[in-house]
Amino acid sequence: METFTLDPRSWRIARVFGRNPLLRRTDRIEAVVMLVALVTYLLAIPVVGVAGAAVYGVRDRLYVQEAQARHTVMATVTDASGPFDQDSHTVVVQARWPGAAGERTGSFQHRVAVKAGERIEIWVDNDGNLAGPPTPTWHAAIDAVGAVIVTLLILGAAMTSLVAAVRSRLDRARDAGWEREIRCLQEDGGRTNRH
More confident residue, 35 or 161: 161
CA separation for the pair 133, 123 (Å, rounded): 6
DSSP 131: -
Query: Exposure pattern of 97-130 as b/e (b: 16+ CB <10 Å)?
Result: bebeeeebeeebebeeeeeeeeebebebeeebeb
Query: At 10, is the pLDDT very low, low, confident or very high (cuts 50, 70, 90)?
Result: low
> Could you tell me which of 95, 94, 98, 91 has the C-alpha nearest to residue 73?
98
Q: Domain map of the chain by residue range?
A: 9-63+138-187, 70-125
Question: Which H/E stretch holds residue 52?
Answer: helix 25-69
CA separation for the pair 109, 92 (Å, rounded): 4
Instruction: Give the pLDDT confidence score for residue 192 in this predicted structure.
Output: 56
pLDDT digits (tens, 9 = 90+) for 133-158: 999 999 999 999 999 999 999 999 99
**What is the pLDDT averaged over residues 84-91?**
71
CA separation for the pair 158, 138 (Å, rounded): 31
How much of the chain exceeds pLDDT 70, in percent?
Answer: 82
CB-side exposure of 19: number of CA atoms within 13 Å? 0
Rounded to two decimals, what is the model's pTM? Answer: 0.69
pLDDT reading at 193 higher than 60: no
CA separation for the pair 188, 23 (Å, rounded): 25
CA separation for the pair 74, 119 (Å, rounded): 6
Instruction: Give the pLDDT confidence score for residue 13 in this predicted structure.
Output: 60
CA separation for the pair 108, 95 (Å, rounded): 8
Instruction: Order across the sheet with 91-99: list the strands.
Output: 102-110, 91-99, 70-79, 119-125
pLDDT digits (tens, 9 = 90+) for 31-75: 889 889 999 999 999 999 999 999 999 999 999 999 999 999 999
Q: State phi, psi for 104 to the nearest 5 degrees.
A: -115, 155
Please name the residue ranges forming H helices in 93-138: none
